[in-house]
Amino acid sequence: MVPLLMSEPRKASLMHGLPAASLPTSESLILASGSPRRAELLTAAGYDFTVMIAGEDAECGMCSRETAPEMVARYAYRKAADVVSRIETGFVLAADTVASCVGQILGKPRNQEHAEEILRLLSGRRHDVYTGVCLWSAKQNRCLVDVVRTELEMLPLTEEMLEEYLESMKWEGKAGAFGYQDGHDWLFVRSGSESNVVGLPMERLVELLENFNSTAETVNTGSISSPDGSSS
């Protein structure tokens, strides 16, 4: 299944004026994600990078009573750790995004039936989107993890709207079964970063890059246990 690229309705505004920062090391940037949307955001902001996709086992399992922020922090860390274990040098950027509503963590739908279940839960409700971000210098053996939250609201969906959207297949490969970038008039950001909903909080990424040398911690590259992620 190939995730859909951004469509035009919100793409122009999302891609315009994205902030960027210099890398804190001399290493080349590596995006540890196969998401075309994250790649589009980085490209639009002017970053040069290569892609190295983390193994599937980096996203396996959910810990008991784990919250959405804790889960995306752990997954982002595991994705970065997987890529770092395969290289000698490189500045790795990994991320993981989920939606959360009434205490339920909503990842990518498994099929159309699951997508319908998720959308019925979100219909008429406010909900949160969390993205965990991990930056890791393979050369320095140092990393940092952060979590960013955005609040959205989905207007009530009629049966006709729901059926039409499900048939469009635009829910495929998207956390929460929706793509904010697709420009739906029934989905709004109430607070926080728009790019975070797409999969990478570009404003926070700049802050993390600028503060990496003073805040990153030395890690054991042989470990993929999750550090604590902080919300912002």
6 pLDDT higher than 80: no
Going by C-alpha positions, the residue among 138, 132, 149, 145 that lies closest to residue 208 is: 145
Beta strand 142-154 with 217-218 is antiparallel
Of these residues, 82, 96, 146, 182, which one is catalytic? Answer: 96
Tell which CATH classification among 3.40.50.1000, 3.90.950.10, 1.10.10.10, 3.30.230.10 matches the domain 8-218. Answer: 3.90.950.10
| Residue 3 pLDDT class (50, 70, 90 cuts) | very low
Instruction: Tell me which of 103-107, 131-135, 178-182 is least confident.
Output: 178-182
Q: Quick one: angle between helices 8-15 and 36-45, nearest 10?
A: 40
Tokens 């797409």 correspond to 198
63 pLDDT higher than 90: no
Average of pLDDT values for 214-225?
74
Half-sphere exposure of 168 (CA within 13 A, CB side): 14
pLDDT of residue 15: 72
What value, to the nearest 5°, has the Cα angle with vertex 66 and ends 61 and 67? 125
229 pLDDT higher than 50: no
**96 belongs to the catalytic site:** yes
Domain boundaries, the chain: 8-218
Instruction: Tell me which of 15-19, 89-93, 199-203, 210-214 is least confident.
Output: 15-19
230 pLDDT higher than 80: no
pLDDT of residue 183: 72
